[in-house]
Amino acid sequence: MELSVVMPCLNEAETIETCVRKAVGFFAEHGIDGEVVIADNGSTDGSQQLARAAGARVVPVADKGYGNALMGGIRAARGRYVVMGDADDSYDFTALMPFLEQLRDGADLVMGNRFKGGIEPGAMPPLHRYLGNPVLSFIGRLFFGSKIGDFHCGLRAFRKDSIVRLGLQTGGMEFASEMVVKATLAGYDIREVPTTLSKDGRSRPPHLNTWRDGWRHLRFLLLYSPRWLFLIPGLAFMLVGLVAGVALAFGPVRVGDVAFDVDTLVGAGAATVIGFQSVLFALFTKVYAMQEGFLPRDRRVDRLVSWWTMERGLVLGGLLALAGLAGLAASLLHWRVNNFGELDPRESLRMVVPSATALVMSFQAIFASMFVSILHIRRREHPPLTDAADEAAVVVDAAADRVAAERAEQAGQDAAEPVADTPGGQR
């Protein structure tokens, strides 16, 4: 079978029959060997019976959620290619040929773009049209280098084996983003075709919740991009902290009428520590995600981790600790020179804050080296231990069974042979 059209369904009795008939009509018009699969997520309004009557195959999916329903339908699909689309009659299932042509041409994933194809008045809330979808799609393109303009279009087509191979995990509306992100990271051939969005045919509100599902999309994009979640903010914090710290370590800095002194130096030390911790979290997340298969291998991270062994981390942490201890020793000498009396904070903090910052970062580096080494520990399955006497007994028993079987077979053959007549006519 060439094509399966998969529709998630939860109480879509008003529109499901229309959608199925349109898809079936598309197959007939273009001579396509296809099927319509309704991934039912627990409808109670008779959607299942209406879909079957219209010519669809209904697949019940117990796990609730948009993503769960779709994955259930995709796995049950018999077609080499799959088109997924909402069962609310907002997409035209008679106009699937551009998607199928791109798949036949070798594409792995073909996305619809509603902003290029046209959005009927009232089909998409203004908040989604002008803020939610454009912003989230921009973030997806920025974080992952995707060229897709409409990350959340519900009408899309793909090779079934390619999408199943991605191991998609999310069960909610963020499934739409996960598919695009993982396909992009996997280096798939992703294309885009214009599609139209019409006002849906339901009298009830849609299942989509603007703020909850918008947050779930954003949350997914952040968690799958350690670079933007941890690395880039961490590097920015470290840069600002180090530049300000170095400048203020030698005295106040005045910019116009504003003077920066030791109070700002304390903040610079905190920014440096926070930034360094964030960079380390980026490394932890990337290593863990690669080990578990959530993210593809990154050669730069592999090279860094192979170089940054636990021993080198201990050396780096030790050097930072020595620098910090040296600074603290200098501050004690300064205190001794002043007979252990009251000190001018503007002088003492310029020695204490950088020293304390170096000490904190030294422990961070040491602990990070240990943790990354733990992440690289592999579980191995060792062969079971066997006793030589037990192995010999098994061999002897097998040989005895074989000899007994041969004797039984020979006895059966002897019993089956007829007794020859004697010359006297006696047996």
What tokens were used for 289? 């995600």
Q: How far apart are CA 99 and CA 87, in angstroms?
A: 18
> Helix and strand tally (H, E) in the chain?
17, 9
> Of 156, 148, 157, which Cα lies nearest the Cα of 197?
156
pLDDT at 307: 86
pLDDT at 413: 65
Name residues of the chain where pLDDT drops below 70. 378-396, 411-427
Neighbours of 240 (CB within 10 A): 15
Q: How far apart are CA 113 and CA 192, in angstroms?
A: 7
pLDDT at 423: 47
Per-residue b/e over 327-357, b at no fewer than 16 CB within 10 Å?
bbeebeeeeeeeeeeebeeeebbbbbbbbbb
With tokens 């040296």, the residue in question is: 326
What sign results for the dihedral spanned by CA atoms 189, 193, 199, 202? negative
pLDDT at 218: 93
Tell me the pLDDT tens digit for each residue of 82-94: 999 999 999 999 9
pLDDT at 420: 47
- 347 φ, ψ (degrees, to nearest 5): -95, -45
pLDDT at 379: 55
Q: Where are the domains of the chain?
A: 3-223, 226-375
pLDDT at 422: 45
pLDDT at 309: 85
Q: What is the pTM of this model?
A: 0.76
Q: How far apart are CA 163 and CA 169, in angstroms?
A: 12
With tokens 């040491």, the residue in question is: 366
Pairing mode of beta strands 3-9, 34-40: parallel
Query: Percentage of the chain with pLDDT > 70?
Result: 91
pLDDT at 27: 96
Question: Taking the chain, what is the end-to-end CA distance rounded to the nearest angstrom?
Answer: 72
CATH code at 3-223? 3.90.550.10
With tokens 């170089």, the residue in question is: 307
Q: How far apart are CA 36 and CA 83, in angstroms?
A: 9
